[in-house]
């Protein structure tokens, strides 16, 4: 029986672990993360799925300890798989797999190597993202590609919308590629990392809206990138923190409005709009001010 050790977290971890089990892979150990009490845990638990199937689970602070390395050397897995695991695995850990080590990444590599690739793709206004299965080497997200699937990013998709598509793509890529991985015939495409960029993690503070420098489309992309279940795009006002959850670009209907030239919030009938520094117009669909739903009759100054 083909064996594996799986490093996994998040929904991609759950679905990809499910694929391995469906194909009869003997998962000897699951390495995952303890949930951070300061993080919004909106996703499913890899540990719960592993426990359901009687698979041992460990949650080390680091995957590269001598203790875990010794455990892996005793297990002698054929393969190591990493599915949305958040730590980089050492060469020593990777070398405990005798037949291969593979990682599932949530972008069309080599674009958006690194952390939170879906959020970065939406922030930058990309029109597609996807899932890539690749060999693991010491350099993160740099090994040969063995499977990839693209998904569209629509103009008003949030990061959560896109992630739900990437999740399905990841499952399909693994499902279609796994048989060739197991029998040793999988095709490999060398990754040219010079054709992409590496991105780090994002913090809640990165959601701040700078009305003096960001145009309407940039603000719209920021709102989409950090909307629910993420902390949201925000600006601090004299009436409290304004968190904007959903917007629509209104540039195609500018001529129907008499709108201010400077960045501000304004109302037309019962709808709320924002003018950006480039003169672009956003319709604000959902927002909170001071923790309450924004009242169109009581708009704060934003600059």
* Preceding amide of 152 cis, omega within 30: no
Q: Where are the domains of the chain?
A: 3-199, 204-293
Helix (H) or strand (E) holding 163: helix 159-183
Give yes or no for residue 258 having a pLDDT over 70: no
Residue pair 45/203 in contact by the 8 Å Cβ criterion: no
Q: What is the mean pLDDT of residues 162-168?
A: 99
Secondary structure in 3-state letters for 120-132: HHHHCCCCEEEEE
Whether pTM > 0.85 for this model: the answer is: yes
Q: What angle do CA 137, 142, 143 make, to 5 degrees?
A: 55
Check residue 255 and give its pLDDT: 47
Check residue 303 and give its pLDDT: 64
Which positions ≥6 away from 242 have C-beta within 8 Å?
234, 235, 236, 287, 288, 289, 294, 300, 302
pLDDT in tens, 49-98: 999 999 999 999 999 999 999 999 999 999 999 999 999 999 999 999 99
Check residue 298 and give its pLDDT: 83
The fold of 3-199 is Rossmann fold (3.40.50)
Indicate the range of 118-127, 218-227, 288-297 predicted with least confidence.
288-297
pLDDT in tens, 18-45: 999 999 999 999 999 998 888 889 999 9
Q: What is the mean pLDDT of residues 207-233?
A: 97
Beta strand 100-105 pairing with 26-31:
unpaired
Give yes or no for residue 301 having a pLDDT over 50: yes
CATH superfamily membership of 204-293:
Formyl transferase, C-terminal domain (3.10.25.10)
């Amino acid at each position: 029986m083909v064996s594996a050790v799986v490093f996994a977290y998040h929904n991609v971890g759950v679905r990809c672990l499910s694929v391995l089990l469906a194909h009869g892979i003997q998962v000897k150990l699951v390495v995952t993360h303890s949930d951070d009490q300061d993080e919004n845990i909106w996703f499913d638990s890899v540990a719960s799925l592993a426990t359901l199937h009687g698979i041992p689970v460990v949650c080390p602070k680091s995957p590269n300890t001598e203790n875990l390395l010794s455990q892996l050397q005793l297990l002698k897995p054929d393969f190591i798989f990493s599915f949305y695991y958040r730590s980089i695995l050492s060469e020593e850990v990777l070398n405990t797999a005798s037949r291969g080590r593979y990682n599932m990444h949530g972008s069309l590599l080599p674009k958006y190597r690194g952390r939170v690739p879906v959020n970065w793709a939406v922030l930058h206004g990309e029109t597609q993202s996807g899932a890539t299965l690749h060999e693991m080497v010491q350099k993160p997200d740099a090994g040969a590609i063995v499977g990839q699937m693209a998904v569209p990013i629509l103009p008003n998709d949030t990061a959560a919308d896109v992630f739900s598509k990437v999740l399905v793509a990841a499952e399909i890529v693994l499902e279609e590629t796994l048989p060739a991985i197991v029998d040793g015939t999988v095709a490999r495409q060398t990754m040219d990392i010079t054709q992409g960029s590496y991105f780090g993690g994002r913090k809640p503070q990165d959601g701040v809206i700078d009305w003096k420098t960001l145009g309407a489309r940039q603000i719209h992309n920021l709102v989409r990138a950090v909307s629910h279940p993420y902390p949201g795009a925000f600006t601090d006002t004299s009436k409290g923190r304004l968190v904007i959850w959903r917007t629509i670009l209104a540039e195609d209907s500018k001529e129907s409005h008499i709108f201010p030239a400077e960045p501000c919030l304004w109302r037309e009938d019962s709808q709320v709009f924002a003018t950006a520094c480039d003169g672009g117009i956003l319709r604000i669909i959902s927002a909170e001010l001071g923790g309450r739903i924004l009242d169109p009759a009581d708009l704060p100054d934003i600059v």
